[in-house]
Chains A and B, each alone.
Chain A
Amino acid sequence: MAMPEFINHVQNAAKNPTGWLNPTAVADLLESDFHTMRPGQRERLFQAVERFRAIAETASPHPEQVIEARAAFDLILEILQPYLTPESEKIRETIAKAWRKERDWIPTFDYVLGNNWLDQPVVWLWFVLKDDVLPEDIDTKNPTTREGLRRVQAAIRKEFEDAGIERRPNMSIRSESEVKELQARATA
């Protein structure tokens, strides 16, 4: 499970006034999720998730802990705002439709809605791939990975067309270890 499921859990909990204080509200967050987020913001998100989870896992939290958990949950919602707009939700769901069939080797993805240099609306989309599907040498091809990337990219273009999404998907890849390196670099 990964970013799309995590966001769904958060959204479902936000709609549940009596059952929001539950560990499932923040389930399925992967270490390599949200790698396009600004580093400070991402760190705040992960810390808020940890604070929330620690209290939610407590059998009978004190009223002060409930207040603290609510503050953490509200912060999570605030940080996730760019992902919660109707357009972002539609695009995430459309990408996820194609991605779910490939998640055994693409554990997660992240995206940013923005404009290109011509000010045309685009989606910058990164698939996070398992390290072992990417050979170190540039000239060494993993035919399965190449074929898989062609398949998922074609599927996403088709899903965008079918969903009437006019933003152009500009797709790329990063490995799990590269995502970790980016995070380490940001916090160094």
Chain B
Amino acid sequence: MSLADELLDTAKYLLRRNKNKPTQADIRRSISSAYYALFHHLIEAGTGHLVVDLAQQQALARAFSHTNMREVCELVTKQPLPPILVPLLGSSVPDELRQVADKFVALQDWRHNADYNVSLIFTRNEGRERIDDLEDVFAAWKLIPTAIANPFLILLLLGKRSLR
């Protein structure tokens, strides 16, 4: 099982704790785990496509950054697609890619609230919604053609500053 899948399981387990009455800490860790599941899912896909050796994959994984990935995802969700992305992703980006990019940004925002904003109270269904979103994104990712997924993954690694 991949780290991303394990994190998804952890996110679910935390919401089932205490006979489906999770504590605030459980829900916050669940939301955070859901974000990290997507973060690592994309990194696993990226490193898996770029290098074969496991040690190389692990080394390359450390080069992905939350900020670079977010910035690229924000660009991909723009309508119309910024012209600078067209040579790499084509003029018509699949809905599934937009969905992945959109949920990455949203999950990152929720994760920051869950980890750092102590003034908020989270409910179990808010945690559930993050998990359902994540499962939708995992399913959507499988439908993106490789010819679009691969350049997107490279962009996630290099960041939007690589686009000139």
Residue in A171, A178, A182 with the greatest tally of chain B CB atoms within 10 Å: A178
Contact B12 A172 (CB under 8 A): no
Determine if B59 is an interface residue (Cβ-Cβ < 8 Å): no
Interface of chain B, main secondary structure: helix
Q: Cβ of B63 < 8 Å from any Cβ of A?
A: no
The chain A residues found within 8 Å of chain B, CB to CB, are: 116-117, 122, 126, 129, 134, 136-139, 141, 146, 149-150, 157, 161, 168, 170-175, 178, 181-182, 185
Q: List 16 A-B contacts (CB under 8 A).
A: A134-B125, A134-B128, A138-B128, A139-B12, A141-B132, A149-B129, A168-B105, A168-B106, A170-B106, A170-B110, A172-B126, A173-B125, A173-B126, A174-B123, A178-B125, A185-B121
Most chain A CB within 10 A, of B20, B106, B112, is at B106
The interface residues of chain B lying within 8 Å CB-to-CB of A126 are 126
Could you say which residues of chain B place their CB within 8 Å of the CB of A171? 106
The DSSP consensus for interface residues of chain A is mixed
Q: Within the assembled complex, what's the spacing in Å between the Cα atoms of A178 and B136?
A: 24
Identify the closest chain B residue to A178 (Cβ): B123
Residue of A nearest to B115 (CB): A117
B-chain residues with CB within 8 Å of residue A174 when the two chains form the complex = 123, 125-126
CB atoms of B16 and A138 under 8 A apart: yes
Q: Tell whether B6 is near chain A: CB-to-CB under 8 Å.
A: no
Collect the chain A residues with CB atoms within 8 Å of residue B125's CB: 129, 134, 173-175, 178
Q: Is the Cβ of A172 less than 8 Å from the Cβ of B16?
A: no
CB-based closest 5 A-B pairs: A117-B112, A178-B123, A116-B109, A138-B12, A173-B129
Please measure, in the bound complex, the distance between the C-alpha atom of A171 and the C-alpha atom of B132, giving whole angstroms. 13
* Given A122-B109, A174-B123, A161-B79 contact (CB < 8 Å): yes
Q: Is the CB of B129 within 8 A of A172?
A: yes
Return chain B residues, CB-CB under 8 Å to A175: 123, 125
Interfacial chain B residues near A138, Cβ < 8 Å: 12, 15-16, 128, 131
Say how far A146's CB is from chain B's closest CB, in angstroms.
6
